[in-house]
Amino acid sequence: MDEGKLSPSDAELIERCLRKDNAAWELVVARFRRKVFHISYKFTGKHDEAEDLTQEIFLKLVRSLD
């Protein structure tokens, strides 16, 4: 990201995702992946299962945007 350039808000990113902006989706995943993984890990207690669950959550999310 360029210095001095503000990162888009979560709401802006979602609006862009709704318009099928792949770059915005990549930013959403980058912004929330770690947080989603940590929550998934708390539920599963296993790294591999938490990775799988994290991926499933993001897949479900992107499919539900329509």
Domain segments of the chain as ranges: 10-64
Number of DSSP helices (H) and strands (E) in the chain, helices first: 3, 0
Q: Tell me the pLDDT tens digit for each residue of 27-58.
A: 999 999 999 999 999 999 999 999 999 999 99
Which band of pLDDT confidence, cut at 50, 70 and 90, is reported for residue 24? very high
- Which is more confident, 11 or 66? 11
Q: What is the pLDDT of residue 39?
A: 98
Q: What is the pLDDT of residue 5?
A: 66
What share of the chain in percent tops pLDDT 70? 92
Backbone angles phi, psi at 11, to 5 degrees: -60, -40
Say if residue 66's pLDDT is above 80.
no
